[in-house]
Amino acid sequence: MRVVDYHPQWPAIYEEKKERILIRADDKVLGIVHIGSTSVAGLGAKSIIDMMAGVENPVSASELLPLLQLIGYNDVTPEPGDQEWYYCLGKVYS
């Protein structure tokens, strides 16, 4: 994937994806923020909308995985290492 010019629709795409996740999340998500280069107005980026969601605890996150898989997100969590605990979900749009 290559870096492209800033697209003014990226914030709206983020808001749409955020709402779909919140509807599916069954109140397990405490908040979602738009992160990464597509969140910076005017900055060129890879056309990937990165989001970070906060949850109460690992149990809530584990309960979210199957709910978010129903709307196309897949678990792409890196192998365990020295990092803090987290899940990483990805969704490919064509």
For residue 65, what is the enclosing H or E element? helix 58-69
Query: Would you give the DSSP letter of residue 21?
Result: H
What pLDDT does 73 receive? 86
Residue whose C-alpha is closest to residue 65's, from 73, 55, 57 = 73
- Gap between the Cα atoms of 49 and 56, Å rounded: 23
Sign of CA dihedral 10, 15, 21, 27: positive
Q: For residue 40, what are its two tokens?
A: 């910076």
- Residue 90 has a pLDDT of 63
**Architecture of the 3-90 domain:** 2-Layer Sandwich (3.30)
Taking the domains of the chain in order of start, what are their residue ranges? 3-90
Confidence of residue 87 (pLDDT cuts 50, 70, 90): low
Query: What are the tens digits of pLDDT across the range 57-86?
Result: 888 888 988 998 898 888 777 666 655 656
Nearest by Cα to 14 from 48, 41, 46: 48
Alpha helix positions (H), the chain: 10-24, 58-69
Confidence of residue 26 (pLDDT cuts 50, 70, 90): confident
